[in-house]
Amino acid sequence: MMGAVDLPFIQIDGRPIIVDGYKGTVYCDPSAQLRKQYKAIFLEEQALVKGLEALKDLPCETKDRYRLPLHVNTGLMADVVRSLERGAEGVGLYRTEVPFLLRDRFPSEEEQRAIYREQLEAFAPHSVTMRTLDIGGDKALPYFPIEEDNPFLGWRGIRVTLDHPEIFLAQIRAMIKASEGLDNLRILLPMITNMQEVEAARALIQRVHKELLEEGYRVRKPQVGVMIEVPAAVYLAPELSRRVDFLSVGSNDLTQYLLAVDRNNAQVADLYQAFHPAVLRALQYIVYAAHDAGISVSICGELAGDPGAAILLMAMGYDVLSMSATNLPKVKSVIRGITFERAKGLLAEVMRMSNGDLIREHIARELRETGLTRLIRPLASDANE
């Protein structure tokens, strides 16, 4: 639930409410009948989650044996435990800013190394993709304030760390040192908008790797990739793909920038459409660019964890989907419940459509016809229609 700005918080404080995240509805002082209906939904959700636990050790593959690895997004060690319990095959996005946000000062290189080592060891030998410090926008450090009129179009991501190479170098040193003997580290550069940023970051990473070898560390140079989050990076995808080892799409920011919609702004939140035709076309273009250059492309963000969207992303050719651990079992169940051929057919159908709402409805209808509706909304909620 986002943007519930009109709720009378003082009046409803301490009173029973029901928050329906499927519909985006809040019920205050619900009737006995409404409580009964939502109790049924709650119990059904619990049963569904328990039923999906059996999928933990099964591969994420379609009925016709198309394999799609599922990774997780992490930031805390608690995320690691949940991820491993749900059968994650690696980390598609480790948010390194989380340890920075939890402190009242910049963590030292050694403190960072210890934190990163925990993540790398927990998932070894599977890869862990660590995004370099991504602050700015809606993520501000109290001890490194950034005050701007429009922070989402301002000093954030790679712009901050390249302007402060001492921060970037310490973090890269900590990452590479933490990977010694494991060699499962991948480094991801956020908020890339031009080739100069990529070249500058790669030069610093190369410098750190050389220095560590000279200091006696036995470390491999990690793969380096970029996040595709802004329209400029979409159109630079062919060139970027020839200079890096992999691409990773940040679907939340990319959708926000493509549609010029701040999804945290209640006045325009309804314009934020993950299934907007422009978003889907951009996502497909990125895959073509990456694969033409012979590199892999993954996607992280809410779209990757949406069971219906996961079908489209698989059909587009994304090599990895990365999501919250909570969504992983549902996505795996949907992938295992459909054929790759049908997924490609569904993608072809929606790519001819020009209305995001109709695309979402079309996908929901497909899931109903294949008996997978329960994975995107509880069956008991039909009683509330």
pLDDT, position 374: 65
Instruction: Decide if pLDDT at 243 tops 50.
Output: yes
pLDDT, position 2: 66
Instruction: Give the pLDDT mean for 255-283.
Output: 88
Q: Where are the domains of the chain?
A: 58-384
pLDDT, position 382: 56
Contacts 24+ apart (CB under 8 A), 200-206: 200/162, 201/132, 201/158, 201/162, 201/168, 202/243, 202/244, 204/165, 204/168, 204/169, 204/172, 205/172
What residues have CB less than 8 Å from 41, skipping those under 6 apart?
Answer: 378, 380, 381
Q: Quick: pLDDT tens for 147-204.
A: 777 778 888 899 999 999 999 999 999 999 999 999 999 999 999 999 999 999 999 9
Q: What does the DSSP assignment read for 99-128? A: HHHTSSSPPPHHHHHHHHHHHHHHHTTS-E
Q: Quick: pLDDT tens for 98-113.
A: 989 888 899 999 999 9
Q: Quick: pLDDT tens for 40-55.
A: 888 888 888 787 888 8
pLDDT, position 204: 98
Q: What does the DSSP assignment read for 211-250? A: HHHHTT---PPPEEEEEE-SHHHHHTHHHHHTTSSEEEEE
Q: Quick: pLDDT tens for 5-28.
A: 777 888 888 999 999 887 778 899
Cα–Cα distance for residue pair 184/285, rounded to 1 Å: 28
Query: 137: closest CA among 128, 147, 125?
Result: 147
Instruction: Decide if pLDDT at 384 tops 80.
Output: no
pLDDT, position 376: 63
Residues shown for the chain: 385
Exposure on the CB side of residue 50, measured as CA atoms within 13 A: 6
* pLDDT confidence tier of residue 89, bands split at 50, 70 and 90: very high
* pLDDT confidence tier of residue 259, bands split at 50, 70 and 90: very high
Instruction: Decide if pLDDT at 256 tops 90.
Output: yes
3-class secondary structure, 165: helix
Contact 52, 329 (CB under 8 A): yes
* pLDDT confidence tier of residue 375, bands split at 50, 70 and 90: low
Q: Quick: pLDDT tens for 351-361.
A: 999 999 999 99
pLDDT, position 267: 76
Residue 20, H or E segment: strand 17-20
Cα–Cα distance for residue pair 311/334, rounded to 1 Å: 8
Structure tokens at 199: 């070249």
Structure tokens at 193: 């908008």
Instruction: Give the pLDDT mean for 61-81.
Output: 92
Instruction: Decide if pLDDT at 284 tops 90.
Output: yes
CATH topology assigned to domain 58-384: TIM Barrel (3.20.20)
Instruction: Give the pLDDT mean for 290-313.
Output: 96
Instruction: Give the pLDDT mean for 352-378.
Output: 84
Instruction: Give the pLDDT mean for 277-305.
Output: 97
* pLDDT confidence tier of residue 82, bands split at 50, 70 and 90: confident
Q: Quick: pLDDT tens for 118-159.
A: 999 999 999 999 999 998 777 778 888 787 777 788 888 999
Structure tokens at 225: 């990739």
155 DSSP assignment? S
Cα–Cα distance for residue pair 15/8, rounded to 1 Å: 12
Contact 107, 167 (CB under 8 A): no
* pLDDT confidence tier of residue 383, bands split at 50, 70 and 90: very low
50 C-beta neighbours (distance < 10 Å), count:
9
Least confident of 71-80, 250-259, 317-326, 329-338: 71-80
Q: What is the pTM of this model?
A: 0.89
* pLDDT confidence tier of residue 373, bands split at 50, 70 and 90: low
Structure tokens at 216: 């006696």
pLDDT, position 378: 60
Structure tokens at 344: 């490609």
Structure tokens at 110: 């050694």
Which ranges constitute the DSSP H helices of 23-154?
Answer: 32-52, 77-85, 97-101, 109-123
139 DSSP assignment? B
Cα R_g (the chain), whole angstroms: 22
